[in-house]
Structure 1
Amino acid sequence: MFARLYAWVVRAAKHPRAPWALFALAFAESSFFPIPPDVMLAPMALAERRKAWRFALIATVGSVAGGMLGYVIGALFLDSLLPWLKDLGYYHSYETARDWFAHYGFWAVLLAGFSPIPYKVFTIAAGAVAMPFLPFVLASLVGRGARFFIVAGLVRWFGPVFEQRLLKYIDWIGWAIVAIVIVAIAVFQLR
């Protein structure tokens, strides 16, 4: 099932309406869909390098808008979603996200933009724990925006070689960035 979804996303990246599909994919991924928008953003940025920043902006806006939906889902429907999260194997990730909110608040959402834990888990958890909405949106803009602009920029500058490596190592890159941000926060707080 996921292989077909992935193949569909890559084909959609070449379509004239691909920017709309990118927005829809970023929106859906932030609240309920399993495929991250990077798999569409990277081929689009590669195909039209001069539009890479525009595509990153589209992915960011779509992701933040979808994150708002995820927040509402978590705030209003969490009890009915818990069995679904368990069935799909997201419950452990949800518990991790909830723990991050307890310890890091705003920073948890910012880090979620880079984390290999599905972003939808964080958006739903933010609504479930009633994180203040404005900080949630601001952290989403910064975290998701940074991720998509980094992806678009690297693909734009380094081309097809980077796209292949990005898709192969995206989880490792995500965890490395999370670790760097955590160390930076710790150093900043110790000062």
Structure 2
Amino acid sequence: MLKRLYDWTLSLAARKSAEVWLAVIAFVESSVFLIPADVLVLPMTLARPERAYRYALIATVASVLGGIAGWMLGYYAFDTLARPILDFYGKAAAFERLKDEWGSSVLLLLITSGLAHLPPIKVVTILSGVVKVDLWLFIVSAIVARGARFFLIAFLLRRYGEPIRAFIEKRLGVIAGAVAAAAILIYVGLKLAH
């Protein structure tokens, strides 16, 4: 099922309505959908590199708006709507672990999930609402993290084109994950030092 969903999402990049679909996928990815918006950003940018930054902006804005929707799910409707979504994706246990271990440090999770999907962004946006992270702080961190990811992809694809695609698909997540892990280690080290 996941492969079919991925293929369907990828097929949206070839449509005339691709920008609309990019916004829709970026929005729902941040709160309820499994496939990341990168699946559309990559082929769309390779097909029209002159629109790379436009696509990055669309993905960033829609992703932040979707994150706000996830925050609201967590804040206002966790038991009725958010918990069933987490159960559906098998993320409820991960959510509870994050809530127990990182509830007070959810801002760091927002940055790492925004950059590298570690942990999945939908889990962190909902968690942010549950633990009542200030909405404006949430929005700023989402803009920074998601914008950095999408604009970096746009820059790399515009500058290097098709040859960088394999690198992005295979290694960008690893690099972003390493940066996210370093941020977590620095944070934990600073917390232990105090």
What is aligned with 2:174? 172
Q: TM-score, normalised by structure 1?
A: 0.88
**Mapping of residues 79-158 of structure 1, within 5 Å:** 79-80=79-80, 81-82=82-83, 84-98=85-99, 99-102=101-104, 104-116=105-117, 117-158=119-160
| Structure 1 runs not aligned, ≥5 long | none
Instruction: Evaluate the alpha carbon distance shift between residue 31 and residue 160 of structure 1 in structure 2; reply closer, same or farther with a 3 A threshold.
Output: same
**Mapping of residues 22-41 of structure 1, within 5 Å:** 22-41=22-41
What is aligned with 1:63? 63
Instruction: Evaluate the alpha carbon distance shift between residue 188 and residue 161 of structure 1 in structure 2; reply closer, same or farther with a 3 A threshold.
Output: farther
Instruction: Evaluate the alpha carbon distance shift between residue 19 and residue 84 of structure 1 in structure 2; reply closer, same or farther with a 3 A threshold.
Output: closer
| 8 Å contact kept, 1:71–1:128 | yes
Percent of aligned pairs sharing the same letter: 35
Residue 186 of structure 1, CA deviation = 6.9
CA offsets per residue over residues 109-155 of structure 1, 9 Å max, x none?
12220233221111100011111110001100001100111111112
| 8 Å contact kept, 1:45–1:152 | yes
Say how many residue pairs are matched.
189
Q: Distance in 1 between matches of 2:189 and 2:98?
A: 22
What is the identity, as a one-letter code, of the residue corresponding to 2:74? G
Residue 18 of structure 1, CA deviation = 0.8
Q: What SS does the corresponding residue of 1:113 show, helix, strand or coil?
A: helix
Q: TM-score, normalised by structure 2?
A: 0.86
What is the identity, as a one-letter code, of the residue corresponding to 1:50? E
| Structure 2 runs not aligned, ≥5 long | none
Residue 96 of structure 1, CA deviation = 4.5
CA RMSD of aligned residues (A): 2.2
What is aligned with 1:77? 77
Q: Distance in 2 between matches of 1:93 and 1:171?
A: 20
Instruction: Evaluate the alpha carbon distance shift between residue 46 and residue 126 of structure 1 in structure 2; reply closer, same or farther with a 3 A threshold.
Output: same
Residue 158 of structure 1, CA deviation = 2.0
Q: Distance in 2 between matches of 1:32 and 1:92?
A: 16
Residue 84 of structure 1, CA deviation = 4.7
Q: Distance in 1 between matches of 2:107 and 2:60?
A: 18
Instruction: Evaluate the alpha carbon distance shift between residue 83 and residue 69 of structure 1 in structure 2; reply closer, same or farther with a 3 A threshold.
Output: closer
Instruction: Evaluate the alpha carbon distance shift between residue 188 and residue 67 of structure 1 in structure 2; reply closer, same or farther with a 3 A threshold.
Output: same
